[in-house]
Structure 1
Amino acid sequence: MTSASPSKNTVTQANKKMLPIASVALLTAAMLLPACSVVSVEKQASAKTISAQRGNIVTDNQLSSDTASALLSAGLNEQACMQQFDLCLTQLTDSILNKHYRPALAIFAELHYAKARQLADSQNCRNALARPPLDPYYANAPLSDDDAKTQQEETDLCLNNYQDRLFDAVKYSYTYLFYDSLTHDFEGADESYSSAHTQTRIPTDNDIQTQDIYNAASNDVITQLYRSTENSDKLMNGTKVEYLTIPSTKRDSNDQAAIANRAPLKGKAIDQVKVMKVQVDDYDLGIYLPNENNYLQNAHKQDSALADLVSTYELRLSGLNSVSKRPGLGISLVASLDDRYTTTIRQLLSSSLSGRFANESDNTKDSEPSSRIYPTGHLLLTGLIKPSGDSVLDVLSSRQLDIHLYNPYQTETVNILNDNYPLAANFSAGYGMWLAENQLDSVGYLNLITRQLDARLPKLFMLEPYDPDKRVIIMLHGLASSPATWVNLTNDILNDDKLRDNYQVWQIFYPTNLPILENRYQIQQLINTTYEQTDPTGQNRASKNSVIVSHSMGALIARMMLSDENLVEDLDRLDDQDILSNSEKRQIRDALKESFGEKELRKRFELHSLPQVDTAVFLSAPFRGTDYADRWFTRALRRIVYLPVGLVKTVTDNLATIATQGDLAQNPLGALYLQNGASQLSDKSSFIELTKDLTINSRVTYHSIIANNDADITKGLAQAQPDGAKIDLSQALEEDAKDERASVSVSDDTSELPPEPLVAAVIVDKNISQALTQRLSDGIVPYTSAHLDGAASETVINGGHSIQTNPQTILTLRRILHKQLQE
């Protein structure tokens, strides 16, 4: 009997039923197979690739690609690694099979720093920063004794771990960076690797990343250590401080601790002096400062000379046209001294009401020039940490770290393991903090319009500690202004290596409501006193070849300080224009002599040039006055500008029997002392009449920078003197203007250039200057008032009166300073 064969339809139906089953089986089998990674390639911006290659725990708050790859290769999860950190390090060490051990040091440095940051953010470590409870009856009530003890133990353990990880980050990154100079005493190191590959290597991304780790960890150590020794917010535990004094055999009874630095030790100023020993858990830290008495001259206290120590890592400097930096090793710091002077609106208003000077104990003290000289209250320092040891294993196991704080103005390189390396610096940081802390612009304006019982006399600010080997630049601002007007100019000097190394800046802050003759006398007294205090014998380089840079009203004062004329002899010329009788003139003179004393009065009129100054730069100077001071809106402003009450009262009490104050102010002689500074800028004032033809001492080289607000006139000057013209490329053309200029037919070879470029500045020669008239003006001061015969150079800048901020002005000044250095 034969079996029956299945029909075709039956087979087809059976196959249809089996297909889904087969598909499911295949999918199931695929899922059970070992997983395979699928690689895809996509394009991305090159900036993202570079950023990913160079980012690390410091810049991106995540591990670098090299460290992350090392963990993956060892089968380690980053989060698990942070949780079981010591075990992670052991397994990672076992997984590194490459005999070139140097890259591993960078990986360990980053991991230690990542762990330190994690610990610093943890609640246990943050408890060290916690404040006492505000209200014991609510949720923030104190813990019980047992809970408090437990919390303290956990906090101490966290802080100790944090410190260890931070110190290890410093040591591993230091070892990586200076591997070439250390003995290779660890197993598996290739001795020939250093000499064959690293001495001439181009810096890699890993080098830059590890320097970031070294700097960031050093920054945390130094700033946290300072806070801990000051008993403020701290993350350092078990800190014990010992202040070191100069050995008794080398000091007298006036010498204090070396940190006060009243007298430097034997040796060079750039030498480092150990001033403190700090014990942090089982680490011994040595603190070193520069061997200078000038740099730390304000540090009078042994343990609290610095009110604050701020890292530039924690500062964002805004408002500066650029930030002056020097790349290199170390952390840029700003040390703020506890006795620094500040100027604020609140102080001005309170002194106006009380008649006393803020920051001064009495008015008599303020009248002394020496009390109005202010050394910088913000010292620049660069911090560097050197672990002890000459071999890799010595450094990694060291419990001795030396923290060096350098004066970056004096020290440009540091020696580490017999090799010299550039020292980092941020030269704008201290200046920026001073400007931010002092409300100079507002105070300068309010000085004009607030009624004050006593004259606020000029002040001198040193922008860096006095350096006997640098020339001095003295800056004098204009009407209703302040030293803040020089911010970009000063910052560009700091940004020029040659100028920064050869010049130091002194800025004068003076009340522009005082009569200009009185301001000249007070400012010159102040400058003379500063030179005498800093260099009594006048032998320092700083006492020679000084430069005065002045704007507007400041330029009038500066010219008087560079002249040797006797203005008393010119008073008769003013008397000839007066309608008063001879007896009335005599009475006015006698009253003025009685008010000031004849000797003191003559000091205001007898001019003597500053012997230290041999170069001057005048900006927008109204040497022959301006009619702008007599326009109706300016006259209205002049009426609210007050003379100090004390000055007016002193003079007018003696003159009360002669005439009213208003009459006296109209009298040519009386106007010299009863008109405010703003009124004396008028081209009709007695002051301008008296001083317009002053001559400058022949040994002084002077330059004029004059503004012109008519671009067409500046363009005409450029066509007459093409060699002296500078084209304005400070801003791009508007699209409409660009299209309009492009439509003008020009020859093929110049089709890319605008046919009528704007002119930024023109150097004017003597022949051209004689033909210029009042049509050339900055809108306030005409050219004929600002021009001085005999100037070594005269530059016309396209712009308004406030040209001290103009980039072409700053560039012109820098050229003048470079030329002075060459000569």
Structure 2
Amino acid sequence: MALVRRVATATVSTAKKPTFNAALMTLVVTIMMLTACSTVSVNKQASSKTIAAQRGNIVTGNNLSSDTASTLLSAGLDEQACLQQFDLCLDQLTDSLLNEHYRSALAIFSELHYAKAKQLAKSPDCRNALTRPPLDPYYANAALSKSQTDTQRQNTNTCLTNYQARLFDAIKSSYTYLFYDQLDHDFEGAETEEAKARHPNRIPTDLDIQTQDIYNAASNDVITQLYQSTNNANTMLGDTENIKIDYLPTLATLDSSNQAAIANNTPLRGKPTDQIRVMKMQVDDYGLNIYLPNENNYLQNAHKQASALADLVSTYELRLSGLNSISKRPGLGISLVASLDDRYTTTIRQLLVSSLSGKLTKAASNGSMDDSETSARIYPTGHLLMTGLIIPAGDSVLDVLGSEELNIHLYNPYRSESVSILGDDYPLAANFSAGYGLWLAENQLDGVGYLNLLTRRQEASLPKLFMLEPYDPDKRVIIMIHGLASSPATWVNLTNDIFNDDKLRDNYQVWQIFYPTNLPILENRYQIQKLLTATYQQTDPSGQHRASKNSVIISHSMGAVIARMMLSDDNLAKNLNALDNKDLLPNTNKRQINDSLKQAFGNQELGMRFKLQTLPQVDTAVFLSAPFRGTDYADRWFTRAIRRVIYLPLSVIKTVTDNLATIATQGDLANNPLGALYLQNGASQLSDKSSFIQLTKNITINKRITFHSIIANNDSDITQGLAQMQPNGAKIDLSQALPEQDKNAISTSIQSDTDERTTLANEPLVAAVTVNEDISQALTERLSDGIVPYTSAHLDGAASETVISGGHSIQANPQTILTLRRILHKQLQQQTSP
């Protein structure tokens, strides 16, 4: 700039007759040059960009944070040069830090260590494993010579050693920054008591958030690669030559290949939330101690009782879509999902293969026990949630920074909500939607539900029970039973909202029933109740757990019809006489069929289907869109057409007809009112004219059961009328805005009718109404969800009855879910059964 000024001055002084214009031009050029020397400018930008720039770091993008970048510039260090000569850069950076407050330096060093780790991870030496033998050795990718192979192996091991060291250093530096808040008595010139007094309470800063990002990201890399290192020869944690594993014999377990793996075989004395060491790994100079919860068979397969994790996924690497919300608990640690290799999975392809082969294939059942065994159809969750946390050894800042021992803790987030570090309690992070989302994603439950209804198979696919979290003896059970042609996927939003409600999540666990809706409803009721009874017996033989009391059944449509039968003590066999078809009785053969059917249904094998008995563990039920008295929708031409392609499993037909083969043909039985109870598919039995509905429509619910009805109505005008009759129970619908054309129509209404126009403009839509017994009969006869009329869904004696504005499938309606949550909260407030 000085040179620019000198040149400008010389130009002016040597001119003989400078004109005014020339002088002015020279002045303008000089000012422009002076302005160009300034490197600072001020421009406006969106506040979101400013915040993103302030809070971004090497984890959220490819650039260092503004604090770290500024510190490097102040020290005269280039970012790329620093990463190239990393150790020298750290030395020079340390010399440049003249401030006596060392805490912020720890955050800077943690980010630099992680940046170097990311750079190493992308390098060829770390990224490339030994190349596979070439298909053609004469091409350029021919196999390396022994010396080249040895060199490559050495380079890879060196790179991986440096990579893991950088991760460990990033963890130690960020941990020290986060948890040693005042850096007590470790450094010369550490913060004095006067300095502490000036900042008694420190709110989180951008630097705190960025450093926690570093701590979490580095911990995530170490934990996920730790799992890989126990299963693969070459991993990002290093070659097996670099790793030595010491399994504690009393706690380690063997997988199917007799290889020890991370698991807790037998709990020790103490609490389930206690952490016990199950393994020690030596990775170069670092010792890694792995701790698990003190729980029985934690991380072990349910059936094999052997540890075999098929996968370990961090929620950092998952994007869950299709859920109404993601249920999270903020806090420390990495949310992980461990998938067991014996978990049940089913897909449409597996079902089709099993149908073509005429029986359930091993692939379709994933190698489980015989499907006819009730215990084989109880599926503990195959996706276990964990929260991983790495705590370096050491009692002081210098101890931690110099430590070569890291303690890796894996917590059960359902049981452990917090962790104590250096005498202070911190919340543990959790993602409660992750395991549920993975289960739904890998099981095509909706498609399988439809195929179970329509596919003809040799053997019946019997009901299955899925636990959505590890069994907890201290939580009440919610049992969910879906409707016709459906699956547990129908409950996705309700289940996720329960996970998202701290009070409900802490007090309830969810069991979902998946059953084939083509079976006769009496058979499904019997099999589902048998399955539930076996599950309670398996989890709590003595019946003393909280989980064996105050259970809740939530059921939809056909599932609600089944649920009501599981809450009754009626003997349906006593009402068989009511199904006699008087027009057929004069026919001796038809009368003989009736008599033989009654006798057969009285036998022990079939009689259990007719003798109802209340589940003792359940005290609350919620019925959604329940066709208790049937529906004429099942008899309309298009549903009749669908019913014709719904098949009963051949084994069910054979069981009944073999017992009755001496009296009639299958066709005669199917046309008989009594025979239809077992030779009609589930969809046909929902007709209001069916023998099943005639037999069950008036069954009574056990008096100790509190039940609630949620009924849909697809006529908004009727819902508005209900709201006017019972305004205290109305819930306004704010789920969507009124269309603009409606507003214009209102504004252009007849000018003379001002009062009516105001009423139209201000009248809100109604989403739900809690009703009482005062509804007029004329109004109830018009209520319907389009499939099930109110008169079929209504039950006298309900603790509450709520009419939801919508169609038959209201289980995903936000107002339905909100009503269900209110019912569950109310149940929790009531006294627990003794």
TM-score w.r.t. structure 1 length? 0.92
Amino acid at match of 2:274: D
Amino acid at match of 1:715: Q
Among candidates 688, 695, 720, match of residue 690 of structure 1: 695
Q: Contact 2:278/2:290 (CA < 8 Å) preserved in 1?
A: yes
1:803 to 2:807 alignment? no
Distance in 2 separating the partners of 1:529 and 1:487: 25
Amino acid at match of 1:441: D
Amino acid at match of 2:410: L
Amino acid at match of 1:113: Y
Q: 2:247 — aligned with what?
A: 243
1:390 to 2:390 alignment? no
Q: 1:706 — aligned with what?
A: 711
Amino acid at match of 2:624: L
Q: 1:6 — aligned with what?
A: none
| Change over 3 Å in CA distance of 1:692–1:155 after alignment to 2 | same
Q: 2:5 — aligned with what?
A: none
Q: Superposed, which structure 2 residues align to 1:324-339 within 5 Å? A: 324-339=327-342
1:541 to 2:524 alignment? no
Amino acid at match of 1:413: S
Q: 1:613 — aligned with what?
A: 618
Deviation at residue 344 of structure 1 after TM alignment: 1.1
Give the secondary-structure state (helix, strand or coil) at the position aligned to 1:366. Answer: coil
Q: 1:791 — aligned with what?
A: 798
| Change over 3 Å in CA distance of 1:536–1:771 after alignment to 2 | farther
1:347 to 2:354 alignment? no
Q: Superposed, which structure 2 residues align to 1:394-433 within 5 Å? A: 394-433=399-438
Give the secondary-structure state (helix, strand or coil) at the position aligned to 2:511. Answer: strand
Mark the runs of 5 or more structure 2 residues left unpaired by the alignment.
1-12, 253-258
Q: 1:678 — aligned with what?
A: 683
Q: 2:655 — aligned with what?
A: 650
Among candidates 292, 301, 311, match of residue 308 of structure 1: 311
Distance in 1 separating the partners of 2:268 and 2:17: 102
Give the secondary-structure state (helix, strand or coil) at the position aligned to 1:396. Answer: helix
The 10-residue stretch of structure 1 (55-64 or 686-695) with the greater mean CA deviation from structure 2: 55-64
Amino acid at match of 2:596: D
Superimposed CA distance per residue, residues 548-600 of structure 1 (whole angstroms, 9 cap, x where no aligned partner): 00000000000000000000110011125561446644445536866x88111
The 10-residue stretch of structure 1 (119-128 or 132-141) with the greater mean CA deviation from structure 2: 132-141
Q: 2:321 — aligned with what?
A: 318
Q: 1:460 — aligned with what?
A: 465
Give the secondary-structure state (helix, strand or coil) at the position aligned to 1:529. Answer: helix
Amino acid at match of 1:51: A
Distance in 1 separating the partners of 2:388 and 2:366: 37
Deviation at residue 105 of structure 1 after TM alignment: 0.6
Q: Superposed, which structure 2 residues align to 1:635-646 within 5 Å? A: 635-646=640-651
Distance in 1 separating the partners of 2:200 and 2:42: 36
1:76 to 2:103 alignment? no
The 10-residue stretch of structure 1 (277-286 or 17-26) with the greater mean CA deviation from structure 2: 17-26
1:772 to 2:773 alignment? no
Among candidates 578, 585, 596, match of residue 590 of structure 1: 596
Give the secondary-structure state (helix, strand or coil) at the position aligned to 2:111. Answer: helix
The 10-residue stretch of structure 1 (430-439 or 575-584) with the greater mean CA deviation from structure 2: 575-584
Q: Superposed, which structure 2 residues align to 1:498-509 within 5 Å? A: 498-509=503-514
Distance in 2 separating the partners of 1:297 and 1:731: 47
Superimposed CA distance per residue, residues 23-66 of structure 1 (whole angstroms, 9 cap, x where no aligned partner): 999989998x9995432111111111111111111112211111
Q: Superposed, which structure 2 residues align to 1:182-221 within 5 Å? A: 183-192=184-193, 195-196=196-197, 200-221=201-222
Q: Contact 1:259/1:275 (CA < 8 Å) preserved in 2?
A: yes
Q: Superposed, which structure 2 residues align to 1:119-518 within 5 Å? A: 119-128=120-129, 131-180=132-181, 183-192=184-193, 195-196=196-197, 200-231=201-232, 234-237=235-238, 238-246=242-250, 260-293=263-296, 295-296=298-299, 298=301, 304-359=307-362, 360=365, 365-518=370-523
Q: Contact 2:343/2:366 (CA < 8 Å) preserved in 1?
A: no
Among candidates 580, 584, 595, match of residue 579 of structure 1: 584
Q: Contact 2:522/2:609 (CA < 8 Å) preserved in 1?
A: yes
Q: 2:51 — aligned with what?
A: 50
Q: 1:91 — aligned with what?
A: 92
Superimposed CA distance per residue, residues 93-144 of structure 1 (whole angstroms, 9 cap, x where no aligned partner): 1111111111111111111111100110111111137555454332322222
Deviation at residue 242 of structure 1 after TM alignment: 1.6
Amino acid at match of 1:240: K
Give the secondary-structure state (helix, strand or coil) at the position aligned to 1:307. Answer: strand
Distance in 2 separating the partners of 1:34 and 1:722: 72
Deviation at residue 602 of structure 1 after TM alignment: 1.1
Deviation at residue 232 of structure 1 after TM alignment: 6.0
Amino acid at match of 1:641: I
Give the secondary-structure state (helix, strand or coil) at the position aligned to 2:775. Answer: helix
Give the secondary-structure state (helix, strand or coil) at the position aligned to 1:408. Answer: coil
Distance in 1 separating the partners of 2:411 and 2:251: 22
Distance in 1 separating the partners of 2:802 and 2:318: 38
Superimposed CA distance per residue, residues 163-216 of structure 1 (whole angstroms, 9 cap, x where no aligned partner): 111111100000000012764412332143774356511111111111111000
Among candidates 814, 819, 822, match of residue 821 of structure 2: 814
Superimposed CA distance per residue, residues 356-414 of structure 1 (whole angstroms, 9 cap, x where no aligned partner): 32345999921121110000000000000000011111111110000000000000000
| Change over 3 Å in CA distance of 1:469–1:79 after alignment to 2 | same
Deviation at residue 519 of structure 1 after TM alignment: 0.3
The 10-residue stretch of structure 1 (170-179 or 362-371) with the greater mean CA deviation from structure 2: 362-371
Give the secondary-structure state (helix, strand or coil) at the position aligned to 2:735. Answer: coil
Give the secondary-structure state (helix, strand or coil) at the position aligned to 1:343. Answer: coil
| Change over 3 Å in CA distance of 1:176–1:747 after alignment to 2 | farther
| Change over 3 Å in CA distance of 1:232–1:806 after alignment to 2 | farther
Superimposed CA distance per residue, residues 501-532 of structure 1 (whole angstroms, 9 cap, x where no aligned partner): 00000000000000000000000000000000
Give the secondary-structure state (helix, strand or coil) at the position aligned to 1:180. Answer: coil
Deviation at residue 421 of structure 1 after TM alignment: 0.2
Q: 1:66 — aligned with what?
A: 67
Q: Superposed, which structure 2 residues align to 1:103-118 within 5 Å? A: 103-118=104-119
Deviation at residue 696 of structure 1 after TM alignment: 0.2
Distance in 2 separating the partners of 1:275 and 1:13: 90
Amino acid at match of 1:783: Y
Give the secondary-structure state (helix, strand or coil) at the position aligned to 1:60. Answer: coil
Distance in 2 separating the partners of 1:84 and 1:321: 48
Q: 2:4 — aligned with what?
A: none
| Change over 3 Å in CA distance of 1:22–1:475 after alignment to 2 | closer
Amino acid at match of 2:75: A
Distance in 2 separating the partners of 1:384 and 1:769: 61
Amino acid at match of 1:144: S
Number of aligned residue pairs: give it: 803
| Change over 3 Å in CA distance of 1:307–1:182 after alignment to 2 | farther
Two-structure CA RMSD over aligned residues (Å): 3.0
TM-score w.r.t. structure 2 length? 0.91
Superimposed CA distance per residue, residues 605-649 of structure 1 (whole angstroms, 9 cap, x where no aligned partner): 000000000000000000000000000000000000000011112
Distance in 1 separating the partners of 2:719 and 2:415: 43
Deviation at residue 470 of structure 1 after TM alignment: 0.2
Q: Contact 2:320/2:437 (CA < 8 Å) preserved in 1?
A: yes
Deviation at residue 494 of structure 1 after TM alignment: 0.4
Mark the runs of 5 or more structure 1 residues left unpaired by the alignment.
1-10, 249-255
Distance in 2 separating the partners of 1:508 and 1:36: 74
Distance in 1 separating the partners of 2:678 and 2:307: 46
Superimposed CA distance per residue, residues 60-96 of structure 1 (whole angstroms, 9 cap, x where no aligned partner): 2211111111111111111111111111111111111
Distance in 2 separating the partners of 1:557 and 1:26: 91
The 10-residue stretch of structure 1 (725-734 or 570-579) with the greater mean CA deviation from structure 2: 570-579
Q: Superposed, which structure 2 residues align to 1:744-763 within 5 Å? A: 754-763=761-770
Distance in 2 separating the partners of 1:292 and 1:303: 15
Give the secondary-structure state (helix, strand or coil) at the position aligned to 2:152. Answer: helix
Deviation at residue 428 of structure 1 after TM alignment: 0.1
Superimposed CA distance per residue, residues 288-344 of structure 1 (whole angstroms, 9 cap, x where no aligned partner): 010011654526889852111000000000000000000000000000011111111
The 10-residue stretch of structure 1 (52-61 or 798-807) with the greater mean CA deviation from structure 2: 52-61
